[in-house]
A and B are shown apart, each in its own frame.
Chain A
Amino acid sequence: MTALLQIGNLRKTFMRDGRTTAAVAGVDLSVAPGETVGLIGESGSGKSTLGRLALMLLTPDSGLVEFEGEDLTRLRPRDLRSRRARMQIVFQEPGEALDPQLTIGQSVAEPLDVQRPRIPAAEKAARVAEALERVRLDPGMTTRYPSQLSGGQQQRVGIARAIITRPSLIVLDEPTSSLDLSVRAGIISLLQQLQSELGVAYLFISHDLTTVEYLAERLVVLYRGRIVEAGPTAELVAAPRHPYTQALVAARLDVDPRIAPLPLAAPAASSAATAVGCPYQSRCPNVQDDCRVGEIPLRPDDGAAGARELACLHPVPPATRPPLDLVAPQAGPGGSS
């Protein structure tokens, strides 16, 4: 199976307060056609930066971004723009993602206008109506303005805009984080439904393991610009190997008061950035001297079943993992739900 998106050794540094900080420090990642990859990390982990690099909305300092078999970093701006019909993004803040001066119809139609400037008006209107119907919005909404919509409706408009050029990949940058619980569930269901209808692949970025766990078949855990663990969602959650993944899993709280949370063994992060060695060393309960020297590469994880990768010298041994009575047997909800 060839990957739809293949990211190789990607790096991006930013200048902040006169210092350069690596937001993304050598990341390898791939997304297969039609699959959902969950990218999880805390704030400042570089997950949003990585999502933007994957779409070349930011230019990487070095590394490879291969999309549909083509290295995007080598394309001229004009050629890159034409590829954008196949890759889209949905943002966290649905209100800010829509131009307040444009009607809903104009916003949804923008990718079409850009990619096919000579599209007949009737076809354009039909495509806009179809996109709005797909996100379960009233196509009569085209003449309204973003300020007249609720947050959930605005996010549906953002999704309609993302699917109108029939992309093969959509980066979802925390699309449900700013929404109310009941609205959030509707958006998650919609995303699942769209994936089964359109076969689009998702790179789902979130800080919330509960949501990612529900949607993604594969999980990638990012910590301070580096992938610390990756693998099939169910296996990763059932038996986390990296102490950070373990902390993420343990930090989950169940909505059923009868199910007690797992003990959390992660000391508070010190703000001091660690330049050498494991990025997690300052918080890690398993830290040893060799964690503080040299870079720890992401390697196939021999200690666990399945296609898992791990960047840790002293992982959680499979035997001592705490029992998890909540994990579903199957890997993610699949496309047919």
Chain B
Amino acid sequence: MSEVMTTPLPPHRRDSGRPLLDVRDLRVFYGKHGLQAVHDVSFRLETGRRYGMVGETGCGKSTVLKAVLGLVRAPHRVQADTMELTGAGDLLHLRPRALRALRGAEIGYVAQNPFGALHPVLTVGEQFHRFLAAHGATRSRKDSRERAVPMLDRLGVPDAARVHDGHAGALSGGMAQRVVIAFASILEPRLVIADEPTTALDVTVQRQVLDLMATPDPRRTLLMTTHDLSVVAQYCDEVFVMYAGRVVESGPVDSVFVDPQHPYTAALLGSVPRPGQPLASLPGSPPSLGEHTTGCDFAPRCRFRTDVCAQQPPLEHVGGVADHAVACHHPLGGAA
């Protein structure tokens, strides 16, 4: 492999034994009528790797994250054969109290809108203290401060002590997101889940935040959604492409983004503007909730549609690359 990697991969690339998180056949149903938003999504996250989840609005990527975090509430329902976090058990069957203890300590969460996660009137430091105290991880305000300020400093917050003692409402978007990332990192959770973490940020700030959040760390696993394919291309090791609540393609970024097998993945990649190259637009829009057919959901928009597509294609391995899987009756082939 002679690819130019932006960042070195962690030494234990794969086959490192048990996965950190093993999700099998996750299904999420919305509302009283039980419209299915997520269909049989399965994935295994291995320690130290970074995973990206991409797809158009409404493809179910945020819903998958919410389900893993245990944030899907009635009347919506979550089912799964298993949602096992190594060392903690099946997340689906944990008691709310145990799940709350897990969030923050074992699973860090970074939301799209940092201001939604921060209290506008309390000081940043007070929120750090309460967060640490809730997890029984601090002895005093002084103790909390001594841990929070260096953390903010490491995340590139200028004048960290002043930010720590000030109010969250006075921060800029980039600073607020750094504070949220500090929350999501201070207890050194094994898994960090980020839902569109940089969408609300300016481009230069986005780069800086990604450099902080998505640098490879052998002890930390990152699962991130984004609609920005280039973020996944540069900051993730593996990618899941979702369409209409299903994973339609998955595998190493180097393989999926270089040799896309699903026509949908190829269309998404082709719709990124690059100077001097024609733009490929994808007509139509994804099916709405509850509009699923028995066949491939992408078929109505697909150029390669045939009669077989009336049947749901299974997610199968393709080509020569290990772990590159696609759910398509007519994969694009190519160099893989």
Answer whether A and B touch in the complex at a CB cut-off of 8 Å. yes
Contact B273 A214 (CB under 8 A): yes
The distance in angstroms between the C-alpha atoms of A184 and B56, with both chains bound, is 11
* Interface size range on B against A: 35 or more
B207 and A264 contacting across the interface, CB-CB below 8 Å: yes
Instruction: Select the stretch in A8-16, A140-148, A329-337 that faces chain B.
Output: A329-337
**Given A185-B273, A248-B204, A260 contacting B257 (CB threshold 8 A):** no
Chain A stretch 257-272: residues in CB contact (< 8 A) with chain B:
257-261, 264, 266-271
CB contact list, B62-99 vs A, under 8 A: none
Residues of A within 8 A of B171 (CB): 271
| Docked pose: A184 CA to B285 CA in angstroms | 12
> In whole angstroms, what is the CA distance A237 to B267 when docked?
26
Whether the pair B233, A254 counts as a contact (CB closer than 8 A) is yes
Could you say which of B28-36, B38-46, B152-160, B322-330 contacts chain A? B152-160
Q: Which residues of A contact B278 (CB under 8 A)?
A: 337
B56→A252 contact, CB < 8 A:
no
In this complex, the interface size class of chain A, counting residues with CB under 8 Å from chain B, is 35 or more
- CB-CB under 8 A from A185, the residues of chain B are 270-273, 279-282
Q: Is B320 an interface residue (CB 8 A)?
A: no
Q: Does A114 sit at the interface, judged by CB under 8 A?
A: no
State whether the Cβ of B230 lies closer than 8 Å to any Cβ in chain A. yes
With known contacts A255-B272, A269-B172, A332-B275, A264–B204 Cβ distance under 8 A: yes
Is there an interface contact between B230 and A333, defined as CB atoms closer than 8 Å?
no
User: Which B112-163 residues sit within 8 Å CB-CB of chain A?
Assistant: 156-159
- The dominant DSSP class at the B interface is loop
Residues 195-217 (chain B) with a chain A CB within 8 angstroms = 202-208, 211
Looking across the interface, which residue of chain B has its beta carbon closest to that of A237? B275
Q: For A253, give its contact among B233, B268, B281, B285 (CB under 8 Å).
A: B233
Tell me the residues in window 269-302 of chain A with beta carbons closer than 8 Å to chain B beta carbons. Answer: 269-271
CB distance from A198 to the nearest CB of B (A): 19
Does A247 make an interface contact (CB < 8 A)?
yes
Determine whether B6 belongs to the interface, using a CB cutoff of 8 Å to chain A.
yes
How many Å lie between the Cα of A268 and that of B228 in the bound state?
Answer: 22
Given A185-B281, A253-B230, A257-B257, is A333 in contact with B202 using a C-beta cutoff of 8 Å? no
CA–CA, A172 to B211, complex, Å?
Answer: 31
B202 adjacent to A43 (CB under 8 Å): yes
Closest to A153 in B: B285
Q: Give residues 167-198 of A contacting B (CB, 8 Å).
A: 180-186, 188-189
* Cβ-defined contact, B203 with A328, below 8 A: no
The reply to whether the CB of B254 lies closer than 8 angstroms to some CB of chain A is yes
24 sampled A-B residue pairs with Cβ under 8 A: A42-B204, A43-B202, A181-B229, A181-B271, A207-B202, A213-B275, A247-B204, A253-B207, A253-B230, A253-B235, A254-B230, A254-B234, A255-B230, A257-B257, A258-B3, A261-B6, A261-B234, A264-B207, A266-B204, A268-B205, A269-B174, A271-B171, A328-B277, A337-B278
- Minimum-distance CB pairs A-B, first 8: A328-B276, A185-B271, A214-B273, A186-B281, A253-B230, A42-B202, A328-B275, A182-B282
10 further contact pairs, Cβ within 8 A, besides A181-B229, A260-B6, A261-B207: A43-B202, A185-B271, A185-B272, A186-B281, A188-B279, A257-B3, A258-B258, A264-B204, A268-B174, A337-B278
